[in-house]
Structures are given as structure tokens and as C-alpha cells.
Amino acid sequence: DIQMTQSPSSLSASVGDRVTITCRASQSISSYLNWYQQKPGKAPKLLIYGALSLQSGVPSRFSGSGSGTDFTLTISSLQPEDFATYYCQQSYSTLRTFGQGTKLEIK
């Protein structure tokens, strides 16, 4: 199975900050990397697919990059509603493994 490793596991930041979350795959997954946002008590929401494509309705302050094994999710200017947990997931393999998550908290 393909293992996905996110860093950091948690992150404290302030409104207006630029933050970056990284995700590493245990083997090359081309650009088959997706990012999700999850708020407490809610289902995950697809933010970015194909490593860099923004899902419809997602604000442009979110962006993704990377290919192969190393990927990043960047939020250019944090808003209060962005404090949540973020997960990466590979869709290269049928067994669609997730990263362990990054909890983004208010500083």
C-alpha cells in the first residue's frame, strides 16, 4: 500500500498568516493527490484534486503544488473559517490512503 505522511501534525497560526502543509507519498503518485478540509463533527470537504486544481467553490487563497512524491497545500492568508484539520489522499492506487492529518489551530 502507498503510505502518505503529512507534516506538521499540528500548526498554530494567526488570521492573515500564510501557511503551508506538506504531504509525502511512499512512492511516486504522479499528480494523483487530493486535499480535504474537515471541521469538527462534519464530513470532509474536497478542496484540491489532481495536486493543483481547485474544487468548485473553494476560495482562491487555497493552492496546491507538487508531483511525484512531494506535495504542498498553501493557504495564502488565513481566514477564521480555515481553522480545521486538513488531510491529503492519494488516488493513484485503488486503495485510497490518507495522510494522518494536520490540525490548524488559532494562535
Partner 1 sequence: QVQLVESGGGLVQPGRSLRLSCAASGFTFSSHAIHWVRQAPGKGLEWVAVISYDGSDKYYADSVKGRFTISRDNSKNTLYLRMNSLRVEDTAVYYCARDWNYNGLDYWGQGTLVTVSS
Footprint on this chain of partner 1 (rule: CB under 8 A):
1, 32, 34, 36, 38, 43-46, 49-50, 53, 55, 85, 87, 89, 91-92, 94-101
Closest of 4, 32, 28, 5 to residue 92, by C-alpha: 32
Minimum CB distance to partner 1 smaller for 19 or for 86? 86
- How many other CB atoms sit within 10 Å of the CB of residue 42? 9
What is the spatial distance between Cα 31 and Cα 10, in angstroms, rounded to a whole number?
25
Q: How far is the CB of 42 from partner 1 (least distance, A)?
A: 8
Query: Which is closer to partner 1, CB of 95 or CB of 107?
Result: 95
| Nearest approach, Cβ of residue 34 and partner 1 (Å) | 3
CB nearer to partner 1: give 76 or 85. Answer: 85
| 33 vs 13: CA distance, rounded Å | 24
Counted residue by residue, the chain has a size of 107
